[in-house]
Amino acid sequence: MSRFREITRDRVERRAHDRALHESEERFRNCFDEARVGMLIVSLDGHLENVNRAFCAMIGYNQGQLLGSTRSDVTHPDDLEADNRVRAAMLNGEASSRTLEKRYLHASGRSVWVAIHLTLIRDGSGEPLRWIAQVQDITERRSYERQLEYIADHDSLTGLLNRRSFERGLDIQLARVKRDGPRGAVLMVDLDNFKRFNDTWGHHAGDQLMARIAHGLQARVRADDSIARLGGDEFAVILPEGEASRIEAVAEAFLAVVRDEAMPAGRDWVTASIGIANFSAGVSAQAIMIAADLAMYDAKAAGGNRWSRRA
């Protein structure tokens, strides 16, 4: 009789265990499917085993299109290496979960920035089984951050780099000069008679002229050159490469831009005075800026609408 009771009890306990397991799995499926954030279950080799509706909506594919594809298929190519490094570190036991940011490729072709909380699931003996990921769309946040970065690094009127960015670029160029030897130059550009133009035609006309001149100057430099508005009517340019002839040609082009864009103010035209200072071995940021500034004042003292050079 006791044996019968033991068997009965085992059956009852097993049924209760199975029922509890089924209920637990059902709760997980419901939570997974109905979660407001994206949810993924990914095999160790990167295949998507399950995705929820929120993730499908996030990247523009339906479940049938995603199941069986790999995370590489939907991850931005530029973010795959970093993604792989994080997963390799987790597989090596550095952490059981990590948070990372990367881009998925939307069905429309655009990028979707996401924050992923990634968990590595292991079995009872510690062997890796699969990945579970919670995914949140942060595209709007990243866009806002990029706007703030742009505002912090650029002049609001002209869209050129600001003084902060210029000084950072100057430090980078000085490090190159120290490593590779002297090359390139700094140009300081100051507009002649701009205050008189503002006083005569008004600040709105002055802002329009400044923006046109800035656009024209930007069009005369290469992609690896750096041009900034330091404030007021003063611009500065870093030419990291180029012989003297190229540097002088840029200065002449700048003079022409200002003349072409400027409007007459009484008998005077807005022109530019430009100072050139070449990078030399051991020169400091302060020293080369002073040299370019002094050369600019030499040009201005000689009547403006010209460039001058200092070693």
CATH at 160: 3.30.70.270
Q: Which residues contact 290 (CB under 8 A, 6 or more apart)?
A: none
> What is the bridge-based pairing of β-strands 306-310 and 271-278?
parallel
Residue whose token pair is 């990372």:
100
Examine the domain organization and report whether 158 and 139 are in the same domain.
no
Euclidean distance between the first and the last CA atom of the chain, given in angstroms as a whole number? 108
Examine the domain organization and report whether 131 and 191 are in the same domain.
no
Examine the domain organization and report whether 189 and 288 are in the same domain.
yes
Examine the domain organization and report whether 299 and 175 are in the same domain.
yes
CB atoms within 10 A of CB 119: 15
Structural domain ending residue among the three candidates 144, 166, 181? 144
Examine the domain organization and report whether 119 and 218 are in the same domain.
no
Examine the domain organization and report whether 139 and 158 are in the same domain.
no
Structural domain ending residue among the three candidates 144, 171, 193? 144
State yes or no: pLDDT of 134 exceeds 50. yes
Average pLDDT over residues 4-14: 55
Predicted pLDDT of residue 300:
96
DSSP E strand stretches across the chain: 38-43, 48-51, 97-105, 111-122, 128-137, 185-192, 226-231, 234-239, 264-265, 268-269, 271-278, 306-310
pTM, whole model, 2 decimals?
0.70
- Point out the least confidently predicted range of 22-36, 98-112, 153-167, 264-278: 22-36
- Amino acid in position 272: A
Contacts 24+ apart (CB under 8 A), 73-80: 74/104, 74/105, 75/102, 75/103, 75/104, 75/105, 76/102, 76/103, 76/104, 76/105, 76/111, 78/103, 79/103
Examine the domain organization and report whether 136 and 177 are in the same domain.
no
Examine the domain organization and report whether 254 and 207 are in the same domain.
yes
Examine the domain organization and report whether 198 and 230 are in the same domain.
yes
Tell me which residue range forms the domain holding 66. 35-144
Count of domains observed in the chain: 2
> Cα–Cα distance between 47 and 145 in angstroms, integer?
32
Examine the domain organization and report whether 275 and 158 are in the same domain.
yes
Examine the domain organization and report whether 269 and 207 are in the same domain.
yes
- Point out the least confidently predicted range of 178-182, 264-268, 293-297: 264-268
State yes or no: pLDDT of 6 exceeds 80. no
Whether residue 103 lies inside any domain: the answer is yes
Predicted pLDDT of residue 103:
96
Q: pLDDT band for 109, please (50, 70, 90 cuts).
A: very high
State yes or no: pLDDT of 11 exceeds 80. no
Whether residue 282 lies inside any domain: the answer is yes
Give 220-231 pLDDT, tens digit per residue.
999 999 999 999
CB 275 within 8 A of CB 300: no
- Amino acid in position 192: D
Residue 100: both structure tokens together? 């990372």
Examine the domain organization and report whether 165 and 284 are in the same domain.
yes
Give 58-88 pLDDT, tens digit per residue.
999 999 999 989 999 999 999 999 999 999 9
Whether residue 106 lies inside any domain: the answer is yes
> Cα–Cα distance between 188 and 293 in angstroms, integer?
6
Whether residue 244 lies inside any domain: the answer is yes
Across the chain, mean pLDDT equals: 89
Whether residue 14 lies inside any domain: the answer is no
